[in-house]
Chain A
Amino acid sequence: MGNKAENQINDEIYTGVVPALKKDRIYDSKAITIAAAGFGVASWCYVQGGWISSLLPFHLAVIVSLIPMIVFGLLMMLCVIIPTRYGIDLWIYQKAVFGYGFCSILCIVAILTNWGWYAVNSNVFANASSTLLKMAGIPVSSAAIPWLGSLCAILGLVLAMKGPHLVKYATYIMVPCLLAVGLLLLIKTMSTTTLTDLMNSKPMYADTYPSTKIAFLCMVEAMFGFIFAWYPVLGSMSRITKTERASYWGQSAGYIGAMAFFVIIGVVSSTLMGNLGVYSTDPTDWLAHLGNPVWQAVSIGAIALANITTQTLGCYCLSLATKIFKPSWDYRKIAAGYTVFVIAMIFWQGVWEYYNVFLAATAVIGAPACAIIVVDYFLVRKGNVSLRSMFKIKGEDSYEYTFGCNIPAVISFALAVASYLFIYDPLNYVVRNETLMKFTPTGIAFVVAGLSYFLMCQIPAVKAYVLRDAKEAEVKYPEEGVEA
């Protein structure tokens, strides 16, 4: 192979769909934990924390900020074992789960929905930058805010163009700084109030729901949506992580632990501001009340930095996922196209208005998909897959199923979505079934999807339909304790 072709292939390992072998892995447990934390920690944590604290008493808000994320976070993270094991993006594997056609549809919907998070981040980056400029004596008009937000998207694109190696070293510096600033912010905020005052504060919008119990369930549901928002990007960093254990626990620590910490900071800060009569999900509003200009500048600067890191990784992961449609597409052109898309969303400002609907959309897509993936790989296929059919090597196309759709998987997905909407109307904040609401719509959707798919695959004819790849060369993973 000539040098140029070799360089192109090497490029495709990190910005394409070429399976990553052991020698290509760059993330060990420390690196993947830091990268996941760098990806997860952004102003969306503060926004979520601020929203929760406006609806729940302090002690419930803190519990809701952490516990629901652990429950479905650890279940969702089972999905990352697959890309780590085979060095492929999770979207490549989902061709086996859903069929070539339905996988593509799911990919488009999940990715386009996911970009809403980056519009939220960019808006907060814009507000943070505007505050910093005003502190420096440079006035900024409200018309300039979307342009500042676009700067975050563009900076993320520029860094994402360099690939995961640069991101890895950048997060080594940024993430410890972010965590330190977050910890200091928490200490600073707690020093200006008492735990008793926080516990006694009344949520500003406590009357939104008919009871605290309903509000609690709805916020648990919101946190489930928050964690399932990671579904579209689970594969990109996992495929270049060295070991499965590092991939699972490292990303759990980053996406669950680090994020929950910053959501709690959002809860504390927003509750404190609520006691002062100020409600805002924008952390720059909270930090403006800290009093010390130097501390304000440092904290606001940290928010801006966190958002750029997140934008970079989001751009990288979502652009990489898109290459399942056509591997020959230029990763950098895809990334640039998505940046234009997110800039359009920034100017639209609609994500703020429909935040709850947007969260519901991520939950209703991510929860059933993850449930079906986990059941499919671990219980139905038991780890026996055909990489040749996933990549359609030499005409192998076992995952064509019926017009590109794995019918049992599609039925399970549809049942899960129907069950979600049967229980809860996210458009109007209406609980439709109070009994099932106790288990949350996302919880029910997850169970319905996984259970229905598993039960259907116990029928011999259905099992034969789903496991049509069994006739091909199988990738058998060495059993524990057995020499390969």
Chain B
Amino acid sequence: MKKQEEFLEVLDQEIESRIKTIEASDYEGVPEFNKTDGILSAVTIVVCIGILIFTYNFLC
């Protein structure tokens, strides 16, 4: 039980340390999901919805 409590304390300290690292922007330079990705995704979704509507109205 004592070992588990010690482990939990170490775990909490590690999590807190990592949160501080993340808050200090650990992710410089990593390509993020940006507007181009969003637009590409949105266009694809709209086209697919169009295909479904066309299929329902004309192919069923």
Interface residues in chain A, defined as those with a beta carbon under 8 Å from any beta carbon in chain B:
1, 5, 8-9, 12, 16-19, 21-22, 59-60, 63, 67-68, 70-71, 74-75, 78, 81, 85-87, 211-213, 216-217, 220, 242-245, 248-249, 327-328, 387-388, 391, 393-394, 438, 473, 475-478, 480, 484
Do A244 and B19 touch across chains, with their CB atoms under 8 A apart? no
CB-CB < 8 A to B10: which residues of A? 1, 5, 8-9
CB-CB < 8 A to B59: which residues of A? 59-60, 63
Do A18 and B18 touch across chains, with their CB atoms under 8 A apart? yes
Do B37 and A21 touch across chains, with their CB atoms under 8 A apart? no
Do B22 and A70 touch across chains, with their CB atoms under 8 A apart? no
Q: Roughly how many angstroms separate A473 CA and B26 CA in the complex, as a whole number? A: 16
Do B52 and A12 touch across chains, with their CB atoms under 8 A apart? no
Report which of B14, B16, B55 forms a contact with A9, defined as CB distance below 8 A. B14
Among residues 29 to 60 in chain B, which have CB atoms less than 8 Å away from a CB atom of chain A?
A: 30-35, 37, 41, 44-45, 48-49, 51-52, 55-56, 59-60
Report which of A1, A18, A478 forms a contact with B27, defined as CB distance below 8 A. A478
Shortest CB-to-CB span from B4 to chain A, Å, is 6
Do B27 and A85 touch across chains, with their CB atoms under 8 A apart? yes
Given A1-B10, A478-B27, A480-B32, also A391-B55 (CB < 8 A): no
Having A21-B22, A473-B23, one finds 20 other A-B pairs with CB under 8 Å, namely A5-B7, A9-B10, A9-B11, A12-B14, A19-B15, A22-B26, A22-B30, A59-B59, A71-B48, A74-B44, A213-B56, A244-B31, A248-B41, A249-B37, A327-B11, A393-B12, A393-B15, A394-B16, A477-B32, A480-B32
Q: Roughly how many angstroms separate A17 CA and B22 CA in the complex, as a whole number? A: 15
Interface residues in chain B, defined as those with a beta carbon under 8 Å from any beta carbon in chain A:
4, 7-8, 10-12, 14-16, 18-19, 21-23, 25-28, 30-35, 37, 41, 44-45, 48-49, 51-52, 55-56, 59-60
> A59 — nearest CB in chain B belongs to which residue?
B59
Do A19 and B27 touch across chains, with their CB atoms under 8 A apart? no
Q: Roughly how many angstroms separate A381 CA and B54 CA in the complex, as a whole number? A: 37
CB-CB < 8 A to B19: which residues of A? 19, 387-388, 391, 393
Do A70 and B45 touch across chains, with their CB atoms under 8 A apart? yes
Do B52 and A71 touch across chains, with their CB atoms under 8 A apart? yes
Report which of B15, B23, B26, B49 forms a contact with A18, defined as CB distance below 8 A. B15
Report which of A5, A87, A242 forms a contact with B22, defined as CB distance below 8 A. A87
CB-CB < 8 A to A328: which residues of B? 4, 7-8, 11
Q: Roughly how many angstroms separate A236 CA and B38 CA in the complex, as a whole number? A: 23
Q: Roughly how many angstroms separate A212 CA and B44 CA in the complex, as a whole number? A: 26
| Most chain A beta carbons < 10 A, residue from B11, B15, B21 | B15
Report which of B21, B37, B60 forms a contact with A60, defined as CB distance below 8 A. B60
13 A-B contact pairs sorted by A residue (CB < 8 Å): A21-B22, A63-B51, A67-B51, A70-B44, A70-B45, A87-B22, A213-B56, A243-B32, A248-B33, A328-B7, A394-B16, A484-B25, A484-B28
The 4 closest A-B pairs by CB, nearest first: A244-B33, A19-B18, A484-B25, A484-B28
CB-CB < 8 A to B4: which residues of A? 328
CB-CB < 8 A to A71: which residues of B? 45, 48-49, 52
Do A74 and B18 touch across chains, with their CB atoms under 8 A apart? no
